Chains A and B, each alone.
Chain A
Amino acid sequence: MNVLLDNFPEFRDGFIGTVSITAVSSVIALVLGVAVAGFRVSPVPPLRYFGTAWVTLLRNTPLTLLFLIFFFVVPEILFPGMSPFLLGSLALGFYTSSFVCEAVRSGINTVPLGQAEAARSIGMTFAQTLRIVVLPQATRSVIPPLSSIFIALTKNSAIAGAFSVTELFGWQKLMSDRGYEITPVFIWVALGYLVVTFAISGLFRLLERRMEVAR
């Protein structure tokens, strides 16, 4: 108990850090993932190849390596002096985008074939079919996998702490550096993560219930 009460401001900062890096990289992952999923089902071959390469590469790269790339290579390409928070969110977002892409793609696969055929037969273009008919229906079946992807993202955000982003793993490290017993520290950090992941799964269950439609 003492370890939490004595170091509460740091813990609070760490918790807020975890929540905010999760939120920011979720948005990045969602935007990139949906865009790449669109590439992967599009009629334009180079975009399809790009999508496939994107997913294959990112899924087979360790996240820690991706962090290393974003902290040491990306600033050289863009501009130096980007904040660790931004770089960490980008690394996490890019990594997770490949999983989001696959979830969206398999969600598109759950939409009955006739729906797209009907859309095409009334003269809709590819973009219209996707936007008006297929994606809204795919959303519903994508929600359960997305929830677990974002839970995994929250857990993965711990790695950002090792790259000097303020979050909960950073607090664990700081406390053990200060010589506190590791077990209580571990319990508090674990509780912190559990709160975030429970919030995410609760939120998604709510979404799922609201979007539920008989098929």
Chain B
Amino acid sequence: MSASVLYDAPGPKAAVRNRIYAVVGGLAILALIAVSVIRLSDKGHLAPEMWDIFNYAGIRQNIADAVLATLKVFGLAAVGSLILGVLLAVGRLSDHKPVRWAATTFIELFRSIPLLITIYAIWVGFLTDYSMWALALGLSVYNGCVQAEVLRAGINSVPKGQSEAAFALGMSKTQVMVSVLMPQAVRAMLPTIISQLVVTLKDTSLGFIILYPELLQTARLIASNTQVNGQYPYVSTIAVIGTIYVAMCLLLSALATWIEKRGRRAKTGIAVAGAAETPEILPAGSLVGPRAEDRSAEGPDANEGTSKTN
């Protein structure tokens, strides 16, 4: 149901009323923003000197280094989580019970423990002097588990006839997985995989807590080491760093949406997952696992409804 079905095309009276709501609502939003700006400028946070700090080459260099550090961890974690994700997904679909069992336990365990707890434990316990590797490893483990579930959902979405045909041709299990199932699973799940990479990128900011000098940690250092007019320039630093973060994440999200739109044009019979559905908020088994099958056996459910509109 599109939003416009909830209300009629407005008649003259409703149009006037809507316009009044629009003005009132718009003014209320503007007032909120205005009050915030006024309060901040009263306290001197918007003074030119506060923003002047970004004219110093040193500070700019710090920010550039921090962006690089963030991207470095992101790259490591992206590669690590994708490799681990493939391994775990294959392990979970394995015909050997112990392998399947081990992969399932690993995935369920690390998916249900807060990422920060894992990263901190790795940092304190094993990699105290290598905060970058601790962060990258923690991110890889957690996101690898999520990517594994995404890939598994993708593999399950490939029609059964495909693997049956491949087996009938005499392909081995490995060949079926590598050359028939995986490519189609990745293709169907690409938007979701990239959305999860956005989550990975956002989570690199947890490096803040284990003192890895990524973007957020640098922001904090800049803000707490520079004093302007007897105040710390938290507001301006957070504004600048926040813009960088949001820009990076939006770029990745836009890529996911673009791929989703492209995928929908092709007619392969395998639905391309929605980009907006970040696996972070997917139900523990909405696309995947026995739970999804349980529910669809009971009758039409939420997933079916959403996929209709996709």
Contacts and interface: CB of A to CB of B under 8 A. Distances in A.
A173 B249 CA distance: 30
A3 B283 CA distance: 34
Interface stretch (A4-12, A84-92, A150-158): A150-158
B102 interface: no
A60 B302 contact: no
Contacts of B3: 40-41
Contact of A65 (B238, B253, B286): B238
Nearest to A189: B117
Interface stretch (B36-44, B90-98, B184-192): B36-44
A81 interface: no
A72 B283 contact: no
Contact of B283 (A148, A158, A172): A148
Nearest to A73: B235
B6 A60 contact: no
Contact of A46 (B25, B206, B304): B25
Contact of B302 (A59, A63, A141): A141
Contacts of A140: 302
Contacts of B280: 99, 152
B281 A145 contact: yes
Interface string B238-267: 100110011001100100000000000000
Contacts of A72: 223, 234-235, 238
24 contacts: A44-B18, A46-B26, A47-B25, A60-B245, A60-B249, A62-B202, A68-B220, A73-B234, A73-B235, A73-B238, A77-B36, A108-B1, A108-B6, A110-B306, A141-B305, A151-B112, A158-B116, A168-B117, A169-B116, A182-B121, A183-B121, A186-B125, A189-B117, A194-B112
The 7 closest A-B pairs by CB, nearest first: A110-B305, A141-B302, A62-B205, A60-B249, A158-B114, A182-B125, A46-B26
Given A69-B242, A197-B112, 8 more contacts: A68-B216, A69-B238, A72-B234, A72-B235, A77-B40, A116-B1, A116-B6, A145-B282
